Amino acid sequence: MIRIGIYGYGNLGRGVEYAVSQNPDMELVGVFTRRDPASVHANAPVYRAEDVLSYTDKIDVMILCGGSATDLPVQTPQLAQHFNVVDSFDTHANIPTHFENVDTAAHAGGHVGIISVGWDPGLFSLSRLYAGAVLPEGKDYTFWGKGVSQGHSDAIRRIRGVLDARQYTVPVPAALEAVRSGEMPSLTTREKHTRECFVVAEDGADLARIEKEIVEMPNYFADYDTTVHFISAEELKGKHSGLPHGGTVIRTGTAGDGSRHTIEYSLSLQSNPAFTSSVLCAYARAAYRLQKEGAKGCKTVFDVPPAYLSSEDSASLRKHLL
Amino acid sequence: MIRIGIYGYGNLGRGVEYAVSQNPDMELVGVFTRRDPASVHANAPVYRAEDVLSYTDKIDVMILCGGSATDLPVQTPQLAQHFNVVDSFDTHANIPTHFENVDTAAHAGGHVGIISVGWDPGLFSLSRLYAGAVLPEGKDYTFWGKGVSQGHSDAIRRIRGVLDARQYTVPVPAALEAVRSGEMPSLTTREKHTRECFVVAEDGADLARIEKEIVEMPNYFADYDTTVHFISAEELKGKHSGLPHGGTVIRTGTAGDGSRHTIEYSLSLQSNPAFTSSVLCAYARAAYRLQKEGAKGCKTVFDVPPAYLSSEDSASLRKHLL
């Protein structure tokens, strides 16, 4: 059995708890939280985050479930000295720095750390890598959605007069179609995605001002065609409380004989954190096996042989899946 | 530069020749053929297959381009003793035996052999493995086509009175839709694919008898709804001379919290051999790197870390693709 610890117990941590229960070769040893353990209800013992180093010989892989903004840049290197770790660090621009920090720590402790695991970065990155390697002359496209962007929802919530909000990123069907046709179009940000916002405003708030602040918000909305719907708190809760997401990675390219090819990888996810958690668990298995074999240091999904993710052995994989 | 040899020069061998030219870190050293080298026109020196062992120090990876029925089961183990090899062995049921034979030979010679490379087996297998590892509770579906099945086309050509034929495998749209919906339907062979045949018959042949022999042919057609069109040799040449193919691998599954997820991987290929050749080249790079690192024996796509396929280095991959 691979003994798993969860460090941080929000949506993602709960997802990992569920995901561990689906993997017969894993058991959940405990959940580590910065909150008062007595206030956290989990289907495993709950421990104080600050006591984590007492569990180094009881946990094979620690799955870090904090956020990429402030938690993981600190926690993953710290814990990689003492545990095999897996995280879902997703601030693309900071991946090289995070990799170096985790690599140094994991080497020092003789552990394996796998970072940036999930679907993007993660499975989408793999799709881009495989497609680019087999079609060196071609062009990549990534479309996200339809799905909830938590960062954009948060940005709307910070506007004065907004009580709650939910933002959907929606790929433009005509853009998807143009890409699939193999025409290799050049697409602007605006041509690829639209943004749809469901907003609960305070009674008497200036709706026109709120809408204007949303659609003109730089970086988040100004470069997109954005639609704003004001709805009641009840409707938001009833119709928009899930966290669905997904998307599509497409590469179209030309082989040496001029023939054209399209490679497409799509995800349709009812729950973004539940799916990300499932990916984290598969890579926890890989971290465990890699370290057993003597590997150390930081890895990404690019470095992990696919067979290490599966609970089946190699002979069985060749027989049933190849 | 990775020095590549091509062993067998049909559609696939020509495809590899083109594919090598798209990869700046590879050069084609020569083509080995069982035909008279003077009769073969390639953009590289053409050598007699029987002289291949004179080139062991000039070739880093030999890409085998023979057929799975009789060529590869003999050739891949023979050559794996003397070269790093990559093949596209695709007789699913015989993969375990082929693996053992290549593994023994490659270990004996200190080489790496990567077998069953292409899209199915190959990229489709990878998609099944990744999807199954991240969604352990779910169901896999593979649809092929629309595309030309060479095995089925050949089977029709063996019927008395048939001059030429082309068979397309076509996925049933309603089946694809049912799978994508996440309903996890149980589908019979007949419900998943139809078969469409374009046949050139001899003058005066008994068309009704030919059609009956096709649609009732066991293993090949009897379990499918099959349509037969008799056309002229000109029409066959004009409209059906390509070898397009592709297909879709879908896994739908449920995470531990009950949320449902769909993972879909699709290929749309204008030329089946050109694309397969491109995949072979990417794995030739991996075979070269693995052996440089001290690996030996037989591998499949399941064993190869994705980064080994790319001409970019790991730091650059993390920065640009992760």
CB pair distance less than 8 Å for A278 and B319:
no
CB pairs under 8 A between A and B: 235
CB pair distance less than 8 Å for B22 and A271:
no
Query: Residue B251: beta bridge partners?
Result: B140, B263
- The pLDDT value recorded for residue A320 is 94
- A 192-211 residues inside an 8 A Cβ radius of B: none
Question: In the predicted model, is pLDDT for residue A182 greater than 90?
Answer: no
Give B292→chain A minimum CA distance, Å: 16
Is A315 an interface residue toward B (CB < 8 Å)?
yes
Question: In the predicted model, is pLDDT for residue A121 greater than 90?
Answer: yes
Is B19 an interface residue toward A (CB < 8 Å)?
yes
Is B135 an interface residue toward A (CB < 8 Å)?
yes
- The pLDDT value recorded for residue B267 is 98
* Encoded tokens for B96: 């375990």
B247, B267 Cβ separation under 8 angstroms: yes
CA-based end-to-end distance of chain B: 26
B302, B121 Cβ separation under 8 angstroms: no
Residue with token string 């990775």: B2
- The pLDDT value recorded for residue B43 is 94
CB pair distance less than 8 Å for A309 and B129:
yes
- Round to whole Å and give the CA distance between A135 and A132: 5
CB pair distance less than 8 Å for B259 and A271:
yes
- How does the average pLDDT of chain A come out, rounded? 97
Give B159→chain A minimum CA distance, Å: 31
Give A56→chain B minimum CA distance, Å: 26
Convert the pLDDT of each residue in B264-302 to its tens digit.
Answer: 999 999 999 999 999 999 999 999 999 999 999 999 999
Residue with token string 């066991």: B218
Give B169→chain A minimum CA distance, Å: 18
Measured CA to CA in angstroms, residue B143 lies from A106, A218, B140 at distances of 42, 44, 10
Convert the pLDDT of each residue in A282-293 to its tens digit.
Answer: 999 999 999 999
The continuous run of DSSP H or E covering A320 comes out as helix A314-320
Residues of chain B in contact with residue A277, where contact means CB-CB under 8 angstroms, are 255-256
CB pair distance less than 8 Å for B268 and A266:
no
- A 93-122 residues inside an 8 A Cβ radius of B: 95-96, 99, 116, 121
- How does the average pLDDT of chain B come out, rounded? 97
Three-state DSSP at A93 gives helix
Three-state DSSP at B230 gives strand
Of A121, A305, A317, Cβ closest to residue B304: A305
- Round to whole Å and give the CA distance between B50 and A120: 49
Residues of chain B in contact with residue A2, where contact means CB-CB under 8 angstroms, are none
Name the residue of chain A whose CA is nearest to B89's CA: A322
Give A267→chain B minimum CA distance, Å: 5
Convert the pLDDT of each residue in B215-259 to its tens digit.
Answer: 999 999 999 999 999 999 999 999 999 999 999 999 999 999 999
- The pLDDT value recorded for residue B213 is 97
Over chain B (322 residues), the average pLDDT of each successive run of 10 is 97 97 97 96 96 98 96 98 97 95 98 98 98 97 96 95 97 96 93 98 97 96 97 97 97 96 98 97 98 97 98 96 94
Residues of chain B in contact with residue A125, where contact means CB-CB under 8 angstroms, are 321-322
- pTM of the prediction? 0.96
Is B306 an interface residue toward A (CB < 8 Å)?
yes
Residue with token string 């029409």: B235
Is A22 an interface residue toward B (CB < 8 Å)?
yes
The pLDDT-based confidence of A267 (bands split at 50, 70, 90) is: very high
CB pair distance less than 8 Å for A318 and B302:
yes
Convert the pLDDT of each residue in A26-70 to its tens digit.
Answer: 999 999 999 999 999 999 999 999 999 999 999 999 999 999 999
* Encoded tokens for A161: 């007069």
* Distance, CA of B2 to chain centre: 22
Of A135, A302, A314, Cβ closest to residue B307: A302
